[in-house]
Amino acid sequence: MTLALPMLLGAVFVGFLVPRALRAVSSTLSPTVLLAAWLGSMASALYLALSAVLVLVWPSHAPVEGLVDGIARCFSAFAHGTSSWVGELITGTAVGVVGLIAVRIVLAGRKQAREHARVREFHRDVLSIVARRDNSESDVLWLDHPLPMAYSVAGKPGFVVATQGLSSALTGGERDAVLAHERAHLSGGHHRIVGACEVLAAVLPGVPLFAAAPAAVGAIVELSADRHAARVTSPAAVRSALAVVSKSPLPQPDWSLGDRGGATAVRLRSLVDGDVASPRRLTCAVAACVPAAITTAVAAAVTVAVSAGICAVLT
């Protein structure tokens, strides 16, 4: 139990403290790095909680028990001195809670997958009648509508839907920027990433990290797609395209380059101030690990401090 406790505490710290920290540094990090930090933190919270349960149910408490006991021997002595049913109750509760969460994630994920598949099929059926395909851009379906709009639909393969107004209202470079933005959503798997965040938020609405993830990650992938489009075309082309499309009175579906939630100002500012170059993979990997590493270290320190306190009381 001496190893499981800091793991569980670490999972709680990641779930409750990391969102505020990520918001505090969001304006200083590249969208890709920030996305890695969010996804890494969510994966770490789940990993720590699951690992803690595995340690609890592991016979003789896993191979590193001796090491941890060396660090927190006083707490271990206290824990072993308590009635055995206390440990069994903690283990049973942890196994039950994590098992229930796992089942709910699977069920919610399957439900979402079915709904998304139904929407995609609807899009394909309707668009096969009303849209036309340009031979030079086979992944884009064009609608004869005078107002500018574009969005992407995930799938195998995914595709982009754009209006004729996009070509008439924008210059060639701006139009290419919009299409590059939508293609970035498809190639980056952004639909799946945000979909997974929505599933976790539905299952764990009381954990700030997961509750905040759909909106936060949704905004980050927009910034990330803008950066990709800026690299393919230019920051100026993306900025001017965004300014035009965001004023379109058409309702903006998911993944469109429109102003959803008043985010246009943030996106324009990001393209002016930020460096649009891709961050290094090592930087993203570090960003994915650092929040959970820091909070888990704090959790371990808290566990040791509590052990020392108990030791002082018992001796």
Binding residues for Zn ion, rule: CB under 5 A, are: 222, 225, 255
C-beta closer to Zn ion: residue 4 or 223: 223
Rounded CA separation 178/184 (Å): 10
155 or 208: whose CB is closer to Zn ion? 155
Least distance from Zn ion to the Cβ atom of residue 185, Å: 6
Shortest CB 218 distance to Zn ion, Å: 9
Nearest to 240 by CA among 166, 170, 148: 170
User: Does the CA dihedral 120-114-31-23 come out positive or negative?
Assistant: positive
- Minimal distance, residue 258 CB to Zn ion, in Å: 8
DSSP string of 32-78, one letter each residue: HHHHHHHHHHHHHHHHHHHHHHHHHHSGGG-TTHHHHHHHSHHHHHH
**Cβ nearer to Zn ion, comparing 68 with 225:** 225
Cα 34 from chain centroid (whole Å) = 9
Query: Is residue 71 classed exposed, middle or buried when 0-12, 13-18 and 19+ CB atoms within 10 A define those classes?
Result: middle
Rounded to the nearest whole angstrom, what is the least distance from the CB of residue 269 to Zn ion in the complex? 16
Separation CA 101–CA 21 (nearest Å): 25
For 11, 30, 48, 55, 87, the CA distances from 44, given in Å and listed in that order, are: 7, 21, 6, 16, 25
Q: Determine how β-strand 159-163 pairs with β-strand 137-143.
A: parallel
Closest approach of Cβ 150 to Zn ion, in Å?
9
Shortest Cβ 31–Zn ion spacing (Å): 12
119 by DSSP, 3-state: which? helix
Question: What are the CA-CA distances from residue 242 to residues 109, 132, 225, 276 (Å)?
Answer: 33, 24, 12, 16
* Residue closer to Zn ion, measured from CB, 169 or 203: 169
Residue among 75 and 255 whose Cβ is closer to Zn ion: 255
Nearest-approach distance from CB 247 to Zn ion, in angstroms:
16
174 or 222, CB closer to Zn ion?
222
Nearest CB to Zn ion, comparing residues 7 and 177 = 177
